[in-house]
């Protein structure tokens, strides 16, 4: 094996030296770039128009921002300090809030982004100058949150959703300062929803139900939550269901019901809720009605299925229809035409 000629090693060595020198020359540039907050990633979805969407509302806000840039402290930290003079506890606790870190996402993170007029208020101490999102109407306070959250994946269907239409705003469910997990206004998700949806709470006391009772309660199960099926921020299907259709949602967990079958029972593929309720029922297996009546709502052909079965009829006894037609969701047996096997 012949080595490389000595002149080539020399050339490589001098190239390396030169690049080392330029590395050293570059270092101070990085150090005095003067970033006070982490820069936004270049493709952060907000950077394009974040300025327009969440600009501080008045000249006083813009002034504070400019002053902050000249200083070592971020504008966010500076403003929080001003507020702390009179709102010590609240401003102190804010350091741990995810919203104190919005700079990392390339957004402004001042108290002002949710409290327009805050700077004017801080100068005067006049509470009427600052907006409290809990005291303005739902559309206005939600708009201030949507300035940053409007593009979150989960919020695509917020506008026109049943909550937005009925003036249930972000602050009905979220408490930014004292909220728990996900800044929710309640110890658990259920506790948030049950403030308004008492009928659903009642359903969870019924005999058959989805295992939804909050694990925080003594009688809790805590295996799933309301948002296992619903997106409270809006959904594609009716009733804020977070899937293309209600059946698609059910298939996500009961996937064996999705499989194609040789002998379909047509209502099953059409809508599970023809026979089942979603939350809870006094009938077995979340059924809307007891069997045989459930089956007889549709099957009145006038043979053994028909309406006035004698009490001791073999066709009405016990779970009656299901004794002979157990494959109610469809059959894969070549001779399962009447769902009997």
Question: Among 87, 206, 236, 341, which residue sits at the site for ligand HEC (rule: CB under 6 A)?
Answer: 87
Residues 6+ apart with CB under 8 A from 234: 155, 156, 157, 158, 159, 160, 161, 163, 164, 240
Quick note: the x/- pattern for ligand HEC over 2-41, rule CB under 6 A, is ----------------------------------------
133 is an interface residue for ligand HEC by CB under 6 A? yes
* Under 8 Å between Cβ of 339 and 263: yes
When computed from its CA atoms, the radius of gyration of the chain, rounded to whole angstroms, is 31
The CA distance from 164 to 35, in Å, is 39
Helices vs. strands in the chain: H and E counts, helices first? 15, 2
189 is an interface residue for ligand HEC by CB under 6 A? yes
Beta bridge partners of 281: 208
206 is an interface residue for ligand HEC by CB under 6 A? no
Tell which positions 224-253 bind ligand HEC, by CB under 6 A.
224, 226-230, 232-233, 238-241, 246-247, 249-250, 252-253
The CA distance from 67 to 62, in Å, is 9
62 is an interface residue for ligand HEC by CB under 6 A? no
Question: Among 68, 75, 116, 292, which residue sits at the site for ligand HEC (rule: CB under 6 A)?
Answer: 292
* Under 8 Å between Cβ of 83 and 122: yes
56 is an interface residue for ligand HEC by CB under 6 A? no
Quick note: the x/- pattern for ligand HEC over 91-130, rule CB under 6 A, is x--x---xx--x--x-xxx-x-xxx--xx-xx--x-x--x
Which of 181, 180, 129, 182 has its CA nearest to residue 154?
A: 182
Tell which positions 138-167 bind ligand HEC, by CB under 6 A.
142, 144-149, 152, 154, 158, 162-163, 166
Quick note: the x/- pattern for ligand HEC over 250-269, rule CB under 6 A, is x-xxx--x-------xxxx-
């Amino acid at each position: 094996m012949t080595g490389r000629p000595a002149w080539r090693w020399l050339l490589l060595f001098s190239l390396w030296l030169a690049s080392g020198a330029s590395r050293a020359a570059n270092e101070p540039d990085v150090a005095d770039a003067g970033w006070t907050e982490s820069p936004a990633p270049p493709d952060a979805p907000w950077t394009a128009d974040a300025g327009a969407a969440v600009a501080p509302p008045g000249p006083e806000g813009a002034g504070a921002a400019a002053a902050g840039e000249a200083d070592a402290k971020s504008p966010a930290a500076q403003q929080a300090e001003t507020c702390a003079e009179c709102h010590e506890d609240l401003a102190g606790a804010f350091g741990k809030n995810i919203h104190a870190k919005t700079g990392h996402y390339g957004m402004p993170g001042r108290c002002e982004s949710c409290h327009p007029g805050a700077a004017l208020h801080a100068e005067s101490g006049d509470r009427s100058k600052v907006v409290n999102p809990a005291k303005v109407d739902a559309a206005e306070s939600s708009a201030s949150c949507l300035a940053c959250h409007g593009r979150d994946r989960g919020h695509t269907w917020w506008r026109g959703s049943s909550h937005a239409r009925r003036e249930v705003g972000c602050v009905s469910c979220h408490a930014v300062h004292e909220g728990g997990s996900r800044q929710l206004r309640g110890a658990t998700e259920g506790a948030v929803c049950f403030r308004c949806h008492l009928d659903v709470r009642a359903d969870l006391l019924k005999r058959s139900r989805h295992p939804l009772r909050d694990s925080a309660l003594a009688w809790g199960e805590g295996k799933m939550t309301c948002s296992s099926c619903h997106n409270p921020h809006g959904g594609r299907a009716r009733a804020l269901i977070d899937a293309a259709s209600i059946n698609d949602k059910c298939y996500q967990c009961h996937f064996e019901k999705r499989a194609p079958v040789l002998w379909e029972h047509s209502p099953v593929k059409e809508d599970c809720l023809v026979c089942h309720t979603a939350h809870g029922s006094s009938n077995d297996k979340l059924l809307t009605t007891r069997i045989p009546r459930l089956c007889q709502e549709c099957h009145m052909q006038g043979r053994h299925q028909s309406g006035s079965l004698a009490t001791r009829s073999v066709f009405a006894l016990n779970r009656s229809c299901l004794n002979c037609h157990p494959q109610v969701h469809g059959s894969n047996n070549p001779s399962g035409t009447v769902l009997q096997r």
